[in-house]
Each structure stands twice: as C-alpha cells, then as structure tokens.
Amino acid sequence: MGNSLDHVYERIAYQQAALPVMYGDVDFEITPERFTSDLSQSSLPSSQLKHGQPPEEMIERVRAYSMLGDVTADAYAALMPEYGFKRLIDMLQLACDQGVEAVPDAPPELVSLIREMEVKPDWLDMDLVRKGARLNRLPAAVTAPWMIRGAFLATFLNKYAALPMAMTGTLGHTTSAKRVNETATFFTVTTLDGALDRYGEGFKAAAMVRMMHSMVRFNVLRHKGAWDVPVYGIPIPQVDQMPAGLIDVFLLAYAMIDAGRTEFTADERARVEFSRYRCYLLGLPEDLLMDTPQGIVDIMNARNGTLRKGFDDETCGALIRATLAAYLPPDKSLGNRMFDAVERRIARVIFVQHFLGGDQRASRDMGIEIKWSDYALAALLMPTIAAKTAIYRQALKSPVLGKWADDRLTRRIHKLLHRYGHAEFKSDASAYKPTMQQRADGQAQPG
C-alpha cells in the first residue's frame, strides 16, 4: 500500500515542525470528533455495508489522514503575509506555464511544490492517462453539464466536511455559483488532450486547486480559535478530497463488485488511471489511490464509515439552498435562462434520488421542494442524454467516425469552459465567516 502507517504519522507530525505558523497549536495526538469507529454513527449508507467491512489497516490510515493537510502547498501558501496572495498566484501560474526557472527569485517553497508535482509515480502510464482523458471527454461534454450541481450538493451533507466551504463565504448565491463553475472547470479541463502533461492546462489547474485549499488552511489555522481541531480535524484533510476526485471510479467499482466482476476492462483501467493521476497531482497520497475494484470500495467505505454523521442546517442546509438558488450561466440571454430553469430542476432530482435515497421528507426539511413536474422533466431529459451518449460511444469506437466524434466533443468542451468562465481558484480571507462556536463565544472572524 506504499507508505507505512509509521511514515504517515511522521509526515503528520512534520507539519508542526515545518509550519509552526499554521500547525504550532495543533495537538496531533488527538482523534478528532469527526472520526468514529461506530458504523451506526457514521455517514456510510447502509446499502454499502453489503460490500463488506474495510480492512482495519485502511481504517487506521483514514484516521491518520484526517489530520494531514498538504505540507508542500501549505508551505507555499504560508508565504502570503510576505508576498500577498495575488503575487503567489501569479508566480505559481508562471511556473506552471514556463517552469520555475522563468520565475524571478522563485521562493524555495514554490520550487518544491512544482518539483513535487513533476515527480512521476512508479505506476504512472501516461498513454493510459491520455486514453482515460479521451474516454472521459464524453461524460464531460454530454452528461456533466446537467449533473455537476446535483453532485456538488452532495459534498454539503456532512457538517464535518462542509464547514470549510461555509466559512469561506460560499453561502451567497454569487460565490456558490463561482465554486460550482470552478469545480466544473477543473474536472472538464483535465479531460482535454494533453491537459495532465507537465505543461498542460490540467496540470496548472491542479496546482491552483492545491493552492486554493492551502490558502483556506492557512487563513483558518493561523487565527487562534477560528477552527476547532478537536472536533473537525485539519481543514480539508486529504481523505475529504477522495469522494469528489474519484467519484466516477468509486461508482464503477461498486457496480463491478455488485456484478461479480473483479478485473477492469482495458477502457475501465484507462479511466481509473486517469482519475488516479489527476488526484495525485492534487496532492492525494498514493496510498489512498487504490488500483483494484475491491481496494477502491474498501478505501471509500473506510472514509465514509469513519466520518461521523452530522447535518447542521446552519452549515449544510444553508450551503445546499445557496447552491440550488445560484444562477450558473455567465449571462441572462434567453438560451442561458432556459438552460438554468431546466438544469436547476434536474439538479434537485439528482440530489434527492442519488444522495438522499429518494427521501422527499428529508429534502423538505432542508428547504428543497421537489415537484412531480421536476420528475417529469427528468424523465424526458435523461433518456435523451442517454441516447446521445450511446451514439457518441459507438461513434468513438468506429475507425471512420472516431476522430470526428472526439473532435466534436472537444469543441463542445471548449464551449463549456467558456460558459463556466475563468476559474481563479483563490480564497479571500476577508470574506470568511466565523464558525458557530466563534459566534457563540463572540470572537472576531478571521481576516
């Protein structure tokens, strides 16, 4: 599995010595409240218990990684008081585009971040990654525009994982739209040809996401009392990046095991390797990036099976309502307003059916009213999307139509990226909100 647990704990403890400004007051010996060993108190759906208990070693690994940030990117983000966040972002973008040698007086922390991302893991096969990107262009172009908001809502169902988003000012409609579009931009741009190569747009986007997450950690942790480590662990820990980064792989692995399959097909393996490498560039430790169906299911169940359940309306409900209310298109043209009216209703259906198990009472408790007309609209649209996907899938397999279909999907992706808008991948500390405990204590919010 790569790193031994002892090595993992050494890396966790190293954070305190390397970055006392962020981690100096953190007690890394604690087990945060977010972690539970009682499955009945966890966020793991009961339907997933049929896949078996994850190995104890994986559970301990998840426990450890709930206290790990991103040491290399965190060190770069910790330069904000000296350089300012805009200059840090400009230097990072230049280093991604032209290499660290092009950055005048590049700080060692920037060099370390880029060099770390340039390291190729032993298992990496870039031909497979490129094939996986090509296979992922189809869902990115045809399916994702209708699914991204509904899937994004699922990340807000647990207060322990959702609190960083609530604190960083994502409760407003404008900021919610920005975060959804930035997420869509990242996952979409990485599917373009060569995007995950060293000087590709996906490589740069991954670096920017790492920087954004580290800015959040820095801004939260450097203010005494702004974050309750004994309750929440480290902000945006590595284990909380797995669900979004590997959701397609997890769904594939669950379906395979349900069907009694234990080996990936050639196309499935390419999709898995593409997602694994994308997450590797985001800074996820290699020992969280399983490469077998059972291993993938086990690590996800270990994460969800140890994340304590907890829905807080002030955090989770507010994030969900703000995201559903957000207007995602770039302008109010007739076409965009029509798309928004339909997509928003589809998002409600996806969220309720796939992430609330169809529980409409639970959705009403969150302030989400879903109507029969929403289901009727989904019943009309989903078969159309499925048919379009099937047609493209067959065309991509054709020696005659394959290149034409891929070129058409690529053009569609570029249009979507234009609609999603320019992703800044930054976090403004002045917009941060205090935690509930801070408000109760009357403490000042971080700035």
pLDDT grade for 169, boundaries at 50, 70 and 90: low
Q: What is the pLDDT of residues 46-59, one digit of tens each?
A: 777 677 778 899 99
More confident residue, 168 or 250: 250
Q: What's residue 45's pLDDT? A: 81
> For residues 58 and 290, is the Cβ–Cβ distance under 8 A?
no
Q: What is the pTM of this model?
A: 0.90
C-alpha pair distances (Å), 400 with each of 235, 404, 413: 50, 8, 22
> For residues 162 and 156, is the Cβ–Cβ distance under 8 A?
yes
Q: What's residue 105's pLDDT? A: 95
More confident residue, 172 or 164: 164
pLDDT grade for 199, boundaries at 50, 70 and 90: very high
DSSP helix/strand/coil, 41: helix
Q: What is the pLDDT of residues 205-227, one digit of tens each?
A: 999 999 999 999 998 888 777 78
Q: What's residue 163's pLDDT? A: 85
pLDDT grade for 332, boundaries at 50, 70 and 90: very high
Q: What is the pLDDT of residues 391-435, one digit of tens each?
A: 999 999 999 999 999 999 999 999 999 999 876 655 555 454 544
Cα separation of 218 and 164, whole Å? 12
pLDDT > 70? residue 79: yes
Q: What's residue 224's pLDDT? A: 74
pLDDT > 90? residue 109: yes
Q: What's residue 291's pLDDT? A: 93
Q: What is the pLDDT of residues 24-76, one digit of tens each?
A: 989 998 999 999 988 889 988 877 767 777 889 999 999 999 999 999 999 99
Residues with Cβ within 8 Å of 263's Cβ and at least 6 positions away in sequence, in order, are 293
Residues with Cβ within 8 Å of 212's Cβ and at least 6 positions away in sequence, in order, are 425, 426, 427
Domain residue limits, the chain: 44-422
- What average pLDDT score do residues 246-257 get? 91
> For residues 137 and 410, is the Cβ–Cβ distance under 8 A?
yes
